[in-house]
Chain A
């Protein structure tokens, strides 16, 4: 009981802070729209993959991009908490470090998923208005996508928290996290199909867990013919990724120095 209340307390804090920092929400929505309209529209005038427009093709990738940036970047708040003594206030409370980690994951995932839901609504508007008519947004495809996004987000938030628990300065965090975020995004197949990758590129793409999340969501939202792997396989890989990250994160939190 006491642990649950503590977890709730941490979630409550993250959620309140998220709602009050409007600039964060605005930028997290504006960026993806620009990607869709400019990269999607611009490249899309010359390129298309499979049976959908390029804009539609990258939409799942853009959802994942938002998850990547927002989730991993969430770890920076741990560094800030360290800078002020708020982290000590939490660590000195009678609750287990594992619970603190869980509370943070739930808090970070909530932030990210709320942004994703807004993007899904925008996607729906684009679909209805004819900008991306090939999108298949219905209850089932949205639920499947959300399942993928949720599990991926949990894994990514864990990465952010692991990084945050080890770093001393926000600047350092930013530097290291961009070394992670950009390769993970560009090597995920968010912007290109997985079918005919050059040999030097393929291994990097296929060890990237984010690839499987993009592939799964693409299968759900654009029709099954657009996914490279079986959706169950995709989901298994993504789940494995999340579990491993949670385990590492729990360990990192136990060892975290203040």
Chain B
């Protein structure tokens, strides 16, 4: 069953198509990743799906409810963890969760039980009576994640959920998210710019650029589509043109002072490539990662610039009317 069906979803700001005729189906229980460079339209898509922004045209259904015609029912079916802090820092962690339980009309005993459960999960039980003001950035993120999970939504949206977390907390949170998807059959939509994370966790992912889906598939499929291994060569005065005649070299690009090659069966052809290259300072060969996939399809590295939604980006977005 498709828990989310996106049909021709479009959002225009003046002349700019922030989201451009998006079509996508997501199955129940999937962990689905939305990847894309800054301003690609990920967050706008998320805001439309969560009924916070009205689409210019097109629509989507979540849990069989239409986001335009039945926003109330959609909201009951979803949970979301926003990119920016969204807890009240004058209240304690516990109070923030209690507030959430009330807003979602949870029965009292269930609410208290879930608060206990999620607090333990994110390891904040000891700090629950401290004001959020005194939390570190990571703790705050964990609290907000706990809050998004608390009412066990059918679909959970996570907008850059582990931004600012240390590797240890990231691991803990991802383990729980995987568990939730499996046990509760919860569908999880994440935007992230941690490619290793997307690779490890997502069943499927879509790379979005300029409001359109550039490519869609499982991490494995996407990496395979690159068509070979990545070889990086570092040398002085290396002419990248010389590799273009080799038929097993799929792609040649220059990154800084290095030359990057996408090579079919890289291990086999390394010897010949080195012969063509002549004297090199260093050489690196590896299997493609999602970073390479990303670069391949968007022409940009995902880590260039800060993740979407930092204050500087927001300021820019406000000015350009986005």
**A→B interface (CB under 8 Å):** 1-2, 5-6, 8-9, 12-13, 16-17, 20-21, 84-86, 88-96, 168, 258
Contact = CB atoms under 8 A, between A and B. Distances in A.
A94 B47 CA distance: 15
Contacts of A9: 99, 102-103
Nearest to A6: B103
Contact of B95 (A16, A92, A96): A16
A146 B265 CA distance: 83
Contact of B86 (A2, A12, A88, A95): A88
Contact of B105 (A6, A21, A91): A6
Contacts of A20: 90, 131
Contacts of B100: 89, 93
A7 B70 CA distance: 21
B102 A86 contact: no
Interface string B298-322: 0000000000000000000010000
Contact of A6 (B51, B78, B88, B102): B102
B96 to A, nearest CB: 9
B77 to A, nearest CB: 9
B104 A92 contact: no
A156 B87 CA distance: 27
B88 A13 contact: yes
Interface residues on B, range: 20 to 34
Given A5-B102, A94-B104, A88 B52 contact: yes
B300 to A, nearest CB: 27
B235 interface: no
Given A13-B99, A16-B95, A89 B86 contact: yes
B91 interface: yes
Contacts of B105: 1-2, 5-6, 94
Nearest to A21: B90
Contacts of B52: 88, 91-92, 258
A16 B72 contact: no
B75 interface: yes
B76 interface: yes
30 contacts: A5-B103, A6-B105, A9-B99, A9-B103, A12-B102, A13-B88, A13-B91, A13-B95, A16-B90, A17-B88, A21-B90, A85-B83, A85-B85, A85-B86, A86-B87, A88-B52, A88-B82, A88-B86, A89-B82, A89-B87, A89-B103, A92-B51, A92-B52, A92-B78, A93-B100, A94-B103, A94-B104, A94-B105, A95-B103, A258-B47
Contacts of A16: 90-91, 95
A72 B80 CA distance: 31
Which of A21, A84, A91, A168 has the most chain B CB atoms closer than 10 A to its own CB? Answer: A84
Contacts of A258: 47, 52-53
Contacts of A95: 103
Given A84-B85, A92-B50, A92-B51, 9 more contacts: A84-B84, A85-B83, A89-B82, A89-B100, A92-B80, A94-B103, A96-B72, A168-B318, A258-B52
3 smallest CB-CB distances across A and B, nearest first, come from A85-B86, A9-B102, A2-B105
A94 B147 CA distance: 15
B78 to A, nearest CB: 8
Interface string B38-54: 00000000010011110
A8 B88 contact: no
Which of A17, A85, A91, A258 has the most chain B CB atoms closer than 10 A to its own CB? Answer: A85
B115 to A, nearest CB: 14
Contacts of B75: 92-94
A17 B90 contact: yes
A7 B105 CA distance: 11
Nearest to B71: A94
Nearest to B83: A85
Contacts of B99: 9, 12-13
A84 B314 CA distance: 12
A84 B132 CA distance: 13
Nearest to B157: A92
A204 to B, nearest CB: 37
A8 B87 contact: no
B107 to A, nearest CB: 10
